[in-house]
Structure 1
Amino acid sequence: MMDVTLDPQARTFIEVAEVWVPQEDRLVHAQGSYGALDGFAETSAGESFAKGEGLPGKAWAEARPVVLKAFDGSYFKRAEAAKEAGLTAAVAIPVFAGAALKAVLVVLCAGDAERIGAIEVWAETDGFLMLEDGYFGAAKQFEGVSQHTQFPIGQGLPGGVWAARTPMLMRDLGSGYRFVRAESAGKAGLTTGLGLPVPVPGSKTYVLTLLSARGTPLARRFEIWDARSARVGKTGAALLVDGTCARDGRLWDADNPRRAAAWEGPIGTVLGNGLPLVLAGNPAQTAGYDSMVALPIHQAGELAFVIAWYC
């Protein structure tokens, strides 16, 4: 299914993606996609974080996704380098397999009057999902609506992810009856929504939603891969079950499903090691795009899904 609302020439909402992995008692830099931000890339490559230190360390220590909407005066260790690079906000997403931290994925955004999009963290409180925090760029009215919205299980994109415990893609947010905030999304120019569960130790439920606009899409292509053994018949494989892209049209075929095997290609690498993957500078590996991010979701001790997006 083709999503014509995503402009393949537009500048993406997310500027930087990086992976931090535990090494003894610290998080060390594993991979990153920085575009032309060479100075910030160099600073990041030499950095590491103790548990509770900086943004990746905070996501590790608190075992939850963490949004940081401003760097000045914050605990963000690379604030000066980020300011020089024009970066203004970041979100850290921990990847847990049971109680064990596999990695922390950090995405960073650049804010200006034209950047529209949303990265939201929803947390369960008293039987509802409520907005714990989020970064919305210039979509201030939509941010206000989101702060006063709550979802019971099964309602809207966050509630649907909560009920199904699976990632979900929604299209045509401004006109879709399933998207509770459709009117404000339409006014903000938001078109496509990706929701995913973020499993963490303990009983609290977290859902991350990525909302993309036509002018500054979060990414140009999204994919959801199902790696549950009940779906693929064995571990170490995954099926592409949903995806959207302006350039490539339909990404999956129910009669002839796309399959990925462990250690074959980028998705296969994530299936093999269970770690997030960030690739840049090799279009042959990233379907002709400048960069790719693949985020694994572990459930009940096994890799259940891989979410991929391309910029």
Structure 2
Amino acid sequence: MDVAIEEKTRTFIQVSEIWVPDGDTLIHGGGSYGDLGAFEAASVRESFALGEGLPGKAWAEGSPVVLKEFDGSYFKRTEVATEAGLTAAVAIPVFDGKTLMAVLVVLCGDDDEHVGAIEVWEETDKLLMLKDGYYGAAKHFEWVSRHTHFPIGQGLPGGVWSSDTPMLFRDLGAGYRFIRADSAGKAGLTTGLGLPVPVPDGATFVLTLLSARGTPIARRFEIWDARRQKVGKAGGAVLVDGVCERNGPLWTDENISAPRTAARNQGNIGKVLATGLPVIVSGTPKFTEGYDTMVALPIYGDGDIAHIVAWYV
């Protein structure tokens, strides 16, 4: 059985939280706050109307939203966030067709040590252009990214766009498929997760999470295929790709004949399948593969969950 990790490292994402619809507002649906107790206490009491605050803005705009500065913005918890050292956030809406299921919000701090990237790419004139992103201290990589675009099928964002499925890239600094490999290597970025973000108006958005060793977004990534033809009539999900800092590849061509599966209500992935909502689990390593926190995010397609992506810190 996996054991808890002894070495603790600072993570690029410091807070993850879920906001779920309750009538005409969004209410707190769980989260992971580490030792930021005051920010957690303020958050669980909060709610957001359509267009209000960061979760409400993602709901109203029907798209992912990056907010890189809280002061003077529409962010509602600025004072307590500043006291906690949080300076930037990304809101990711989860839509089933035109119905909002939840909004996942991740929050980061800004200093000279945190390196990583959370990017939102948007299709414009048959190219994916950077809508916005947060990069921490990776300033040169940010500059390169803002001057890069992707045709369909090219690079991690273009690959996700072409396949309409989540994708994992390893060894970003050396990978020939990663267009920004040179600048990624210099920034210390190692692993990239890309996923489509379906929205009601059919626009194309791709979210990329790029992780570095020193301040990782995650130490373990998983991609699950939840399309019914993969798991039979009962429904469920099959692990189709994954990588773990401790265990290496979680899925290979050699073990494809005996895939890892999850049924509805079986473990954390099964909870996502059963509820249709993101899941955040923290403080119980025996339920999170030995890690402190696990985030699982559903991606809808054709009226049901098509994929689930999960990351562990």
Q: TM-score if structure 2 supplies the norm length?
A: 0.95
User: Letter of the aligned partner of 2:272 in structure 1?
Assistant: V
Q: Name the counterpart of 1:295.
A: 297
Q: Judge which range, 35-44 or 280-289, deviates more.
A: 280-289
Q: Match for residue 263 of structure 2?
A: 261
Larger deviation: 214-223 or 39-48?
214-223
The structure-2 alpha-carbon separation of the partners of 1:31 and 1:161, relative to structure 1 and needing over 3 Å to count, comes to: same
- Please give the alpha-carbon distance, in whole angstroms, between the structure 2 residues aligned to 1:265 and 1:128: 39
Give the counterpart letter for 1:164 in structure 2.
Answer: S
Match of 1:305 in 2: 307
Aligned residues: 305
Letter matched to residue 282 of structure 1: T
Query: Does the residue aligned with 2:218 lie in a helix, a strand or coil?
Result: coil
Equivalent residue number for residue 183 of structure 2:
184
Equivalent residue number for residue 94 of structure 2: 95
Computed over aligned residues only, the root mean square deviation of the Cα atoms, in angstroms, reads 1.2
| Residue identity opposite 2:171 in structure 1 | D
Give secondary structure in 2 for the equivalent of 1:218: coil
The Cα offsets for residues 133-188 of structure 1, whole Å up to 9 and x where unpaired, read as 00000000000000011101000000000000000000011111100011111111
| Preserved contact between residue 227 and residue 235 of structure 1 (Cα < 8 Å) | no
Q: Distance in 1 between matches of 2:299 and 2:17?
A: 17
CA distance in 2 between partners of 1:12 and 1:224 (Å): 21
Is residue 161–residue 196 contact of structure 1 (8 Å, CA) maintained in 2? yes
Q: Give runs of aligned pairs for residues 89-168 of structure 1, distance below 5 A.
A: 89-168=88-167
Amino acid at match of 2:249: R
SS in structure 2 at match of 1:225: strand
Equivalent residue of 1:303, what SS?
strand
- Segments of structure 2 that go 5 or more residues without pairing to the other structure are 1-5
Task: Pick which of 231-240 and 263-272 moved more.
Answer: 231-240
AA of the residue aligned to 1:291: T
The alpha-carbon deviation at position 12 of structure 1 amounts to 1.2
Higher relative contact order (CA 8 A, sep 6+): 1
State the partner residue of 1:4.
Answer: none
CA distance in 2, matches of 1:235, 1:229: 8
Q: String of CA shifts for 1:32-61, please: whole Å, max 9, x gaps.
A: 100000000000000000000000000000
Q: What is residue 3 of structure 2 aligned with on the other side?
A: none
Amino acid at match of 1:305: H
Q: Deviations over 1:52-99 (max 9, x none)?
A: 000000000000000000111110000101001111110000000000
Q: Give how far 1:8 is off.
A: 6.5
Structure 2 CA distance for aligned equivalents of residues 235 and 88 of structure 1: 44
Shift in Å, 1:236: 2.8
Alignment match, 2:250: 251
* SS of residue in 1 equivalent to 2:75: coil
Residue in 1 aligned with 2:229? Answer: 230
Task: Look up the match of 2:16.
Answer: 17
Residue in structure 2 matched with residue 272 of structure 1 by the alignment: 274
Secondary structure at the aligned position of 1:203 is classed as coil
Taking the aligned partners of 1:205 and 1:250, their CA distance within structure 2 comes to: 30
SS in 1 for 2:248: coil
Displacement of 1:255 after TM fit?
2.4
Q: Percent identical across equivalent pairs? A: 68
| Residues 203-261 of structure 1: per-residue CA shift (max 9 Å, x gap) | 21000000001111101111000001122223530000111111123323312110000
CA contact (8 A) 1:8 1:220 kept: no
1:169 maps onto 2:171 in alignment: no
Aligned AA for 1:292? M
CA–CA distance in structure 1, aligned partners of residues 152 and 199 of structure 2: 18
User: Counterpart of 1:150 in 2: which secondary structure?
Assistant: coil
Secondary structure of 1:134 counterpart:
strand
For the structure 1 residues 235 and 163, does the alpha-carbon distance in structure 2 shift closer, same or farther, using more than 3 Å as the test?
farther
Q: Which runs of 5+ in 1 are unaligned?
A: 1-6
Cα distance in structure 1, aligned partners of 2:178 and 2:230: 27
Equivalent in the alignment of 2:60:
61
For residue 166 of structure 1, give the secondary structure of its aligned residue in structure 2: coil
